Amino acid sequence: MRRFRSYTLKRVNLNEISVLCSKRVVIMTSDKVLDLLNRLKENGITVWIDGGWCVDALLGTQTRDHADLDIAVHRKDNAKLRQLLEREGYKEEGRDDSSVFMYYMKNEAGDGVDVHVFEYDENGNNTYGVEYPFGSLTGTGIIAGQEVNCIAPNFMLKFKTWYEPKEKDIHDVQVLCEKFGFELPTRYAARKNYAILETERLILRPLTLSDAEIAYYGWTGDAEANKYVSWLPHLSIEDTVQWLKDVAWDQTNAGNMPRDNYIWGFVLKKTGELFGSGGLIWEKDWQLYQVGYNISRSHWNKGYTTEAMRAVLRYAAQTLGIKRVAGGHAKENPASARVIEKLGFVYDRDAITPHVDGVRHFDSREYYLDLY
Ligand SMILES: CC(C)(COP(=O)(O)OP(=O)(O)OC[C@H]1O[C@@H](n2cnc3c(N)ncnc32)[C@H](O)[C@@H]1OP(=O)(O)O)[C@@H](O)C(=O)NCCC(=O)NCCS
């Protein structure tokens, strides 16, 4: 029988290699992942998602960008899988630890698929390839609303804590523990503050660059949804990409970086759909955070923004230690006025808010809310 390679060792090596090779950052978006999974399914090939995408699938929402997709495949399907990937334009990229049962395929666009081949005998003993423990390939997750096979949560936690963590691994372990109620290992707890918030119907999570398209077509590029805000609607997806870069914040260091903005993506738990964003924006002139939000029109008037912002305000008080926040709205924006009212803000004064275009202005109302 052949000697198995250590799964632990492999993970360490892969992480190191992927950093060395990552001169150009290509994101394996949820669309690309689902396209590929659907192609595999059409061809009768079963795979299980591993790695970072597995964590996000288990959570039911994407919490960070992923450079590639890790998949586990049974030995019996491996030849078919490899042929299909080659037909789709993927070529093997040699790595230090590549072997017939562990190989990395990349297409011209730079999308990467990391394949781990395994085999069990009838008693559940590993007989070939990567030693997935028996029972580990029993997870179910959701990617962009679609159910996928993946590693079971308890095994994913084991895999993720078997090696020296990088920032993204700390993130993955924290969100897994939070979601599934696992005890957070001490070395991952030191930087706990990870800001995924959950409400009855929503998950609030960091926005990632791969959200650009959905945000642009949903709310950042919609003139109607930006009628009463002081910035301009985005004119292209590139504007939204720039905005996403501007609002990115180091979630693992939350609370240690005053004066940053804290913006979350609002996601429907039921479908995994990202439909808006909002949070706390630092107002230098006031030396206060101001609440701000903007969501797709299709989701207006269902109470989502109020629900999301209640969680944000709780987080502001409990985790960030913020004592007072400001709020405001254009007088002609009754929906925003109602959100401010439902959140319990106290009216402060009337004001004139200039638009970023330097021409327009809004007659507005300003409020504050003390947090306890
Ligand atoms: C403001 C905004 C974020 C509110 O989001 P939302 O999820 O629809 O908010 P909620 O459902 O929690 O609350 C909206 C409230 O406004 C009320 N409302 C909506 N339109 C209204 C109108 N024309 N007149 C009076 N009330 C109105 C709704 O009935 C609801 O109140 P209710 O819960 O008492 O029924 C959303 O309208 C939006 O994205 N607008 C564009 C961006 C924007 O203006 N942002 C605010 C900048 S200050």
- pLDDT tens-digit map of 213-259: 999 999 999 999 999 988 889 999 999 999 998 888 766 566 655 56
**Ligand 1 site-directed mutation target among 228, 298, 300, most atoms within 8 Å of CB:** 300
In the chain, residues under CATH classification 3.40.630.30 are 197-370
Of the options 3.30.460.40, 3.90.1150.10, 3.30.460.80, 3.30.1360.170, the CATH number for the domain spanning 7-189 = 3.30.460.40
Instruction: Give CATH 3.30.460.40 domain extents, the chain.
Output: 7-189
pLDDT band at 91 (very low <50, low <70, confident <90, very high): very high
Q: Whose CA is nearest to atom 33 of ligand 1?
A: 303
Q: CB of 362 closer than 6 A to ligand 1?
A: no
What is the predicted pLDDT for the residue at 319? 80
**Using a 6 Å cutoff on CB, does residue 277 contact ligand 1?**
no
Strand partners for 370: 324
User: Is residue 175 within 8 Å of residue 55, measured between CB atoms?
Assistant: yes
Query: Which class would CATH give 197-370?
Result: alpha beta
Residue type, 366: E
Q: Hey, which of 219, 222, 283, 293 would you mutate to test ligand 1's pocket, going by the most ligand atoms within 8 Å of its Cβ?
A: 293
Q: Which atom of ligand 1 is nearest to the CA of 330?
A: 48
Confidence check: pLDDT of 16 > 50: no
* Cα-based distances in Å from 106 to 115, 129, 174: 11, 21, 30
- Element housing 348 (H / E): strand 346-354
Q: Is 202 a pocket residue for ligand 1 (Cβ < 6 Å)?
A: no
Q: What is the pLDDT of residue 23?
A: 39
How far apart, in whole angstroms, are the C-alpha atoms of residue 152 and residue 140? Answer: 7
Which of 266, 295, 362 best tests ligand 1's pocket when mutated (most atoms within 8 Å of CB)? 295
Compute, in angstroms, the gap from residue 207 CA to the centroid of ligand 1. 22
Nearest CA to ligand 1 atom 5: 305
Which atom of ligand 1 is closest in space to residue 307's alpha carbon? Answer: 12
293 CB near ligand 1 (under 6 Å): yes
DSSP string, 281-296: EEETTTTEEEEEEEE-
Token representation of residue 176: 């897994």
Question: Which protein residue's CA is at the shortest distance from atom 30 of ligand 1?
Answer: 301
> What's the pLDDT tens digit per position in 312-341?
999 998 888 889 999 999 999 999 999 999
Q: Which pLDDT value is given to residue 47? A: 98
Contact status, residue 104 vs residue 112, Cβ threshold 8 Å: yes
Atom 41 in ligand 1: residue holding the nearest Cα: 225
pLDDT single digits (tens) 186-200: 777 755 556 789 899
Q: What is the mean pLDDT of the chain?
A: 87
Tell me the C-alpha distance between 107 and 112, whole Å.
7
Structure tokens at 124: 């559940």
Q: What is the mean pLDDT of residues 254-270?
A: 78
- CA dist 185 and 190 (Å) reads 9
pLDDT digits (tens, 9 = 90+) for 341-360: 999 999 999 999 888 888 88
Query: What is the pLDDT at residue 18?
Result: 30
What residues contact residue 193 under an 8 Å CB cut-off, 6+ apart? 251, 252, 253, 254, 255, 256, 319
Which pLDDT score, from 0 to 100, does residue 133 have?
A: 94
Instruction: Give the pair of three-digit tokens for residue 77.
Output: 């399907």
Atom of ligand 1 nearest to the CA of 337: 16
Mean pLDDT lowest among 5-9, 97-101, 147-151, 322-326: 5-9
